[in-house]
Amino acid sequence: MNDSENPVTLSGANMPDPKTIGTCRIEARLSSSNSRLYRAVDLSLGKTVVVKLMKPPFDEEPRNVERFLAFGSALVGVASPHVVPVLRAGRDGPTPYIVLDWVDGEDVESVLKREKTLVPQAALRVALDAASGLDAAMKKGVLHGDVRPRHLLRVKGEVKVTAFGLSPATQTAQGRTIAGHPAYVAPEIVAGKMADHRADIYALGCTLFELLVGRPPYGTASADALLACHLHEPFPSLKAQAPRAPPELEGFVSRLVAKDPERRFATYVELLQAGATLLPKLRHLQPSQPILLVEDGRQQGVRVDIPEGELLLGRVAGEGFALDDARVSRRHALVRRSGDYLEVEDLASRNGIRVNGIDVRSRQLFPGDRLEIGDTILRVEGPVAAVSQIPAQQAGRMVGSPVRGAFGDVEVSHPPQRQAQPQNLAEKDAGFAFERLQLLSRLAPLFAGRAGNPETLRFDAIGLVADVLKADHRLVIKVKDNQPVFEAATAHEAQLLSGTLPAMERAMPGQLSLATTVRVNVEDRWSVVLAPIFERGQTVAIAILIRRVGRFDDVALMMLEATCALLTLRADGR
């Protein structure tokens, strides 16, 4: 026998793997389900991509091929950081294909196999990221049809939805064919009724339940038994399966998985707004003290308590935490803890340390941060310092950003007594005097008018700052009882709220102003400045400006602070 008679495939499968598809050179097979996925190099773009092909017998049915290409074409250009980007769809001769951007992430199903469950706040963040991606696809006319942990990728703290297109077919005992995995199928699909985006919302609710409990809502029974449960059985109690889950979270899940689609969230905007309001209430459900979880390495799954004082990370047995890693120095790094305040310092180690992919010598640590030492990755979990707990010498200085997904950037924070005042707008400062005077000249007539609605005045004033600073977005978030009130008119606004929530959580306890940079996905960074607006000594709103390209600086923060101070003076009648 020779190779021409029995071709050897990249994966060892019986089906020959192609060498090229369109302008893509195939390098390796990634997986096999209803489609074949390959890592490839797109020679026209000069970058690594994923090529998705159909798998027999699906590619033998013209309707399936048309649906496959229609899904791919519709998803090209979806502007969401929570959808794996689709670059193009087409045919190479008779072979239909879709080319997706290469995303180096881990599917949430694999995360669950390793971690068993996620803490409530982390689980909810996964669901909200996925909802944002599903909403963006829906606006392109695409419903997913198979939402589950396997089709969610966690990439540097963010979640991206993938696997839009053909869903696996489930054959019932009565000979019916139902699209979607039976553990997550909405009741209306089982009943043979017309389904819309709310079926994806139901599947997302089943996914969130699994993230919190560690298994799908109706377990792993046969396909027919699972379908019958979705149609006829009450949805399992989250409280009974996950006692730590607060009532508000159980209520949120219940809205997602209501048997009647009319009782679910009607839109993704409504879902995202409710979720953003719930997130801050879950912060207390973290571990009672900070820990390091070995996320990747020979000691994967090991949890290390961080004691008060110093914890040595290295390879000295019996001293601190000894890592089984040949690339780790004997005395590699120190993690210092003062109450809930954490920081890490490199001890002139051979290979250094990285936090969230960036080389650092020292860095403040926050939940979700990934500390890379040698070939070991440790994730920070547990309570961290609120603003009021940060050592006094840090106020007004550059400190490590706590914003979820930030990579190596720093933020500037100003406590109330150091925030800029209106007179700062008139100060002489080469390079910025023009922008300050331009803002002052535009604010003057606005404040001279008698705006009867304080909320309208706030929005218009912050809009002027946004215009002068060339911000892409502005938000004015109401604050009630020292908690932000989330109101979004669109899914885009809800996404902005979700993205800036960690920065608001950081600012609220001490009423600090902040300038920080948030990484939204691998390519984009949102530069953010935010400042509180006071009335009679209480925070009534948070003004937020966002720039997608380029970054704000501390002068931009000063201009926003001074404008917020003007609004405070106007509100207090001074």
CA distance 370 to 367: 9
Compute, in degrees rounded to 10, the torsion defined by CA atoms 149, 526, 380, 207: -20
Residue 77 falls in which region: left (phi positive, over 0), alpha (psi -120 to 50) or beta: left
H or E element at residue 303: strand 303-305
CA distance 199 to 212: 20
What's the one-letter identity of residue 560?
Answer: L
Considering just the CA atoms, what is the radius of gyration of the chain in Å? 26
Nearest to 465 by CA among 420, 502, 500, 524: 420
* Cα–Cα distance list, 223 to 165, 174, 218, 237, 286 (Å): 21, 12, 11, 21, 36
* Cα–Cα distance list, 347 to 111, 291, 313, 326, 350 (Å): 31, 20, 10, 17, 9
CA angle 89, 94, 95 (to 5 degrees): 50
Helices (H), 77-117: 108-115
H or E element at residue 556: helix 554-571
* Cα–Cα distance list, 82 to 72, 89, 132, 160, 162 (Å): 16, 20, 6, 4, 9
CA angle 303, 308, 310 (to 5 degrees): 80
Concerning whether 135 is annotated as a catalytic residue, the answer is no
Q: Which residues contact 186 (CB under 8 A, 6 or more apart)?
A: 195, 198, 199, 202, 203, 230, 261
Q: Which residues contact 335 (CB under 8 A, 6 or more apart)?
A: 292, 306, 310, 311, 313, 342, 343, 344, 365
3-class secondary-structure state, position 44: coil
CA distance 364 to 343: 4
Q: Considering 42, 59, 146, 200, which one is annotated as catalytic?
A: 146
H or E element at residue 50: strand 47-54
Structure tokens at 350: 């051979």
Contact 103, 84 (CB under 8 A): yes
3-class secondary-structure state, position 281: helix
Contact 447, 548 (CB under 8 A): no
Q: Which residues contact 184 (CB under 8 A, 6 or more apart)?
A: 146, 147, 148, 202, 203, 206, 207, 216
Residue 522, phi then psi, degrees to nearest 5: -65, -35
Task: Please list the active-site residues.
Answer: 146
